[in-house]
Chains A and B, each alone.
Chain A
Amino acid sequence: MQRGLDAETRKQLEEEEKRIISDEHWYLDLPELKEKENFIIEERSFLPCEDLLYGRMSFKGFNPEVEKLMTLMNSQNRTEDVEEEVQNKTGVDVSDEEMARRYESLVGSIKRKFTKKRNRPAIQGEDNVNSNIRSPKIKKVFLKPQD
Chain B
Amino acid sequence: MFLFAFHPEANVANSKEAMLCCVKEKIGEAVLPGDLLAFEIQKSENKREKLICGPGLRRDGEDVFVCKSGILRHKEPNLYWIDLQQRRYVPAKGESVIGIVTAKSGDVFKVDVGGSEQASLSYLAFEGATKRNRPNVQVGDLVYAQFIIANKDMEPELVCIDSCGRANGMGVFGAGGLLFKVSLGLVRKLLSPQSEIVKDLEKIFPFEMVIGLNGRIWVKAKTTQQTLIVANILESCENMTTEQRRSIFGRVSENVL
Bound together: yes
Partner pick for B193 among A37, A53, A73, CB 8 A cutoff:
A53
Residue contact B168 to A53, C-beta cutoff 8 Å: no
Which residues of A lie under 8 Å from residue B208 when comparing CB positions?
Answer: 56-59, 62-63, 66
A47 at the interface (CB under 8 A from B): yes
Interface size class of A (residues with CB under 8 A): 20 to 34
Residue contact A46 to B198, C-beta cutoff 8 Å: no
Partner pick for B211 among A42, A46, A55, A60, CB 8 A cutoff:
A55
Residue contact B205 to A60, C-beta cutoff 8 Å: yes
Residue of A nearest to B97 (CB): A55
A39 at the interface (CB under 8 A from B): yes
Residue contact A43 to B52, C-beta cutoff 8 Å: yes
Residue contact A44 to B202, C-beta cutoff 8 Å: no
Residue contact B55 to A55, C-beta cutoff 8 Å: no
B8 at the interface (CB under 8 A from A): no
Which residues of B in the span 63-95 have a Cβ within 8 Å of any Cβ on A? 64, 73, 75, 79, 81, 90, 92-95
Given contacts A52-B191, A69-B168, A41 and B209 within 8 Å (CB-CB): no
Give the docked Cα–Cα distance between A86 and B233 (Å): 39
Which residues of B lie under 8 Å from residue A47 when comparing CB positions?
Answer: 92, 94-95, 213
Listed stretches B43-51, B113-121, B133-141, B240-248; interface member: B43-51
Which residues of B lie under 8 Å from residue A55 when comparing CB positions?
Answer: 96, 144, 191, 210-213
Q: A residues near B, CB below 8 A?
A: 37-63, 66, 69, 73
Q: What would 28 A/B residue contacts be, using CB atoms closer than 8 Å?
A: A38-B62, A40-B51, A40-B52, A40-B64, A41-B51, A41-B52, A43-B53, A43-B54, A43-B79, A43-B81, A44-B93, A44-B150, A46-B54, A46-B92, A46-B213, A49-B73, A50-B192, A52-B213, A56-B169, A57-B198, A57-B208, A58-B209, A59-B206, A60-B207, A62-B206, A62-B220, A69-B169, A73-B169
